[in-house]
Chains A and B, each alone.
Chain A
């Protein structure tokens, strides 16, 4: 019940396209859903996050869509750029503070 399932494992998108990564969770106690971006050799860096009281959050080219009833959330990267090539992790957090991470998606943006 603590798991967060993420798909796809890898994704290749053409420059300028839309990248979409999906996550699903089971634990309804989760109340914070961040997305982290990780470049090789670096630690995860917070990209964008959402709480379940809203269905969508947008920051620049990055949007989180949140479906509370389905217990799913997704990251959309509009106008994807080669510099967006990285591994993306969704995560969930409840009152226990720890972050529960998804398996990660390796995103490659082809120029």
Chain B
């Protein structure tokens, strides 16, 4: 069964460093998303991406964040200068089309900012 793949599973970084979280969405999907989940809290939307541009972003997704689809398969989330409060699980999701709505999630990357 096709699945969304995220790497690495765990990323440890020092405050102020840049991190790139990587995702390989399901191959025929067109819509891509990043969400985050701070430990013990709910899943929060960060950004959605379609047709090589951001279609929506939340107030969490400030200038420190960026997304990119550098080739036909990868979808990345970059945090330019990490803060302690960026420590969370980051989930990538993809969906085939807007009408069906179904978003499939990866297993996540746990980001620990020290």
Q: Which residues of A contact B (CB under 8 A)?
A: 32, 34, 36, 41-46, 49, 89, 93, 96-104
Contacts and interface: CB of A to CB of B under 8 A. Distances in A.
A97 B42 contact: no
A55 to B, nearest CB: 19
Given A43-B91, A43-B108, A100-B45, 7 more contacts: A34-B102, A44-B105, A46-B104, A97-B33, A97-B48, A98-B45, A101-B44
B101 interface: yes
A49 B106 contact: no
Contacts of A32: 101
Contact of B43 (A46, A96, A101): A101
Contacts, number: 56
B72 to A, nearest CB: 21
A27 B105 CA distance: 24
13 contacts: A36-B43, A41-B107, A42-B107, A42-B108, A43-B6, A43-B107, A43-B108, A45-B105, A93-B101, A97-B31, A97-B55, A97-B98, A102-B42
